[in-house]
Structure 1
């Protein structure tokens, strides 16, 4: 018979101390019961590796959360919301099979590792150019602002085919959309700005698709249009809607992955030395960050029908938090789970999800993050953290994101 530790006192997951370091509390939740109801969050907290995997595979668990996002919008901003939430409803991440599969297949070839690998040389060139401009040795700066944010933006814009002159508007809209989707918008004015940004982003991408139909280029949009699926397996409206998801997801996760990996290595001198001695281990450092302190803490699901999980009965309509940040530290799957080990092998982490909803952009995120980490470790040996004891994190249920990462280059 399985025994569990006593349940910890329920805590609000956005309490400042848990935003700074959620892992002790999440470990205690998992050890007490890998599935438990949280009255405070009105949701089931699923923290065990096997239980999260079951939810990621089970069709009784739905990824559709457009309605909860809409319900969070203040009444005064609802008049702006109809078109914006119509766009969100076309995001594949908010759709279940078979609709999800139909939408995803349009991008499958473009996101394959072999297709993404074509951007390796470009990514290395841009990484060195950004570092030369922003991170001269001896300078003090913010690694988030200097590299972690602009590098994925530059690579992704090139891959998507965004002209450099359109970059400022494009990335402003993306930032505001992130406020909506990640739940950081609080005031009515912030919701209005986010909703309008999503509409503006769709208008822009719709016009860019029309331009690429007339004048194809060497980019994602041209490649997918050239495959002939737009207008066949998906409508043009669906395609443009999904492009807004790609635009939103293209920078945020990778930026946080770069910063979190740099932080992890520079607070563990033995692991930093290992990567410096064997630069190929930069890949292992990125994977271990995804497991131990990745850019995503959880994903939100809904029970589409009643189901039993971990000795509990979830009812149709119940909200479910799949806490991958806890599952990735489950000692039943990962030996010595609290240790950051760039040579770790074995069980698959859930840093990019799993199964049908495995992050379609994982290959691109890995490419950019590994290049950034390897270049910093090998070409900036004097890099050190300016004040590792005074870091702050964005208050988000979903994301693990530093507000800044002050460093000495």
Structure 2
């Protein structure tokens, strides 16, 4: 009797069914070839845990992707792009060592766990205030708009030192910058709006840095300025550019993490009951969401020089997709990888990256997400999903975020 090996058929990762649920296909791709050249995406797709870890450690794999972002801008919007992409070039996430290390060190103390812990009381108070205002029992609403977006915005604005009166403009600019960086801007008008928003955000934060020099406060900008590295190891222009990265990354990632965790728990009654019985397991729920259905599906890299990976030769200049959404479900690393288990421990997931580019804001994102999830689960036992069917997800190659999460409070 002859047995036939199933033929693997590649799928476009931005097709509607892949946006809705990419995981079955990504599992099949990882099983087929954890390092796979995709003519469809003009990229290498790296889906195995060990292979992704190798790329995250290898200096031959570069994080510099400002040029590909610029190449995606429609010709008609290029005249607006020069300053905006100069700002992006100062984001440490788009720099390789030693530049990355130099830029990151400016924020190292401010992002340390002990520094972030100072915001615990404020975060818990803000969580209760947002829920009291937006999650009234008996009301139907959108948990994403009611809680998951405004809560991180409130905490991150306080942390950065953004005056409340400036909040609406600040978060509008952040939303438009996300469209540019995450690839959701499509039309020329959308690119123009995103490029201008990044310039406006940079101008605003530059003025705020000048204000904090004259009038220090209890916030991130003031803390870093007090440490004396701005003007020494980095220029003020570099510092302001990096602040635009902090502003963009904090709100978007944490909002999606909160909403994805609430969805995961409310579609798994046994795990929801476990967190209600032991509120400290809210931390485990957030970590398991980061692994199984986190706010980031992949990151983009480029081969800085030829390298061998899993028997495949990646040429200098080749684009590489590090598909952490697949690596985090690798059965070689995670027992029963498709199961959501709030008590899972030991294996290191890649939901916040790894190594030099490990998310510098991970401690703050975790603080906010855990506070929100614990309060929603334990103080709002009547919370249910209003539409338990298939949720709608943002059409993005890189991030995994809901467009809405209808609930009954």
TM-score category (smaller protein): over 0.9
Count of aligned positions: 409
Cα distance in 2, alignment partners of residues 25 and 252 from structure 1: 26
Q: Which residue of 2 aligns with 1:29?
A: 29
Cα distance in 2, alignment partners of residues 201 and 19 from structure 1: 30
Cα distance in 2, alignment partners of residues 121 and 385 from structure 1: 29
Cα distance in 2, alignment partners of residues 289 and 337 from structure 1: 12
- What is the deviation of 1:7? 5.2
8 Å CA contact retained: 1:298, 1:324? yes
8 Å CA contact retained: 1:4, 1:31? no
TM-score normalized by structure 2?
0.99
8 Å CA contact retained: 1:64, 1:96? yes
1:282/1:82 CA distance change after superposition, 3 Å: same
8 Å CA contact retained: 1:352, 1:362? yes
1:273/1:239 CA distance change after superposition, 3 Å: same
Cα distance in 2, alignment partners of residues 6 and 333 from structure 1: 24
1:94/1:240 CA distance change after superposition, 3 Å: same
Cα distance in 1, alignment partners of residues 147 and 91 from structure 2: 28
8 Å CA contact retained: 1:213, 1:225? yes
Per mean C-alpha deviation after superposition, the further-off stretch among 4-13 and 350-359 is 4-13
8 Å CA contact retained: 1:34, 1:48? yes
TM-score normalized by structure 1?
0.99
Q: Deviations over 1:204-251 (max 9, x none)?
A: 000000000000000000000000000000000000000000010110
1:277/1:5 CA distance change after superposition, 3 Å: farther
Deviating above 6 A after TM superposition, structure 1's stretches of 4 or more consecutive aligned residues are 1-5
1:157/1:7 CA distance change after superposition, 3 Å: farther
The alignment partner of 1:398 has SS state of: coil
8 Å CA contact retained: 1:4, 1:33? no
The alignment partner of 1:390 has SS state of: coil
1:383/1:87 CA distance change after superposition, 3 Å: same
- What is the deviation of 1:390? 3.6
- What is the deviation of 1:399? 0.3
Cα distance in 1, alignment partners of residues 282 and 62 from structure 2: 35
1:66/1:5 CA distance change after superposition, 3 Å: farther
Cα distance in 1, alignment partners of residues 5 and 88 from structure 2: 40
The alignment partner of 1:389 has SS state of: coil
Cα distance in 1, alignment partners of residues 304 and 6 from structure 2: 30
Cα distance in 2, alignment partners of residues 156 and 197 from structure 1: 18
1:83/1:3 CA distance change after superposition, 3 Å: farther
- What is the deviation of 1:391? 1.4
1:153/1:4 CA distance change after superposition, 3 Å: farther
- What is the deviation of 1:315? 0.1
Cα distance in 2, alignment partners of residues 18 and 61 from structure 1: 26
8 Å CA contact retained: 1:63, 1:302? yes
Per mean C-alpha deviation after superposition, the further-off stretch among 2-11 and 225-234 is 2-11
Per mean C-alpha deviation after superposition, the further-off stretch among 87-96 and 384-393 is 384-393
8 Å CA contact retained: 1:64, 1:301? yes
Cα distance in 2, alignment partners of residues 259 and 311 from structure 1: 39
Per mean C-alpha deviation after superposition, the further-off stretch among 122-131 and 322-331 is 122-131
Superposition CA RMSD, Å: 1.9
1:258/1:326 CA distance change after superposition, 3 Å: same
Q: Is residue 200 of structure 1 aligned with residue 200 of structure 2?
A: yes
Cα distance in 2, alignment partners of residues 336 and 311 from structure 1: 27
Cα distance in 1, alignment partners of residues 48 and 283 from structure 2: 26
8 Å CA contact retained: 1:160, 1:219? yes
The alignment partner of 2:239 has SS state of: helix
8 Å CA contact retained: 1:47, 1:326? yes
Q: Which residue of 2 aligns with 1:261?
A: 261
The alignment partner of 1:37 has SS state of: strand
Cα distance in 2, alignment partners of residues 37 and 370 from structure 1: 38
The alignment partner of 1:381 has SS state of: coil
The alignment partner of 2:389 has SS state of: helix
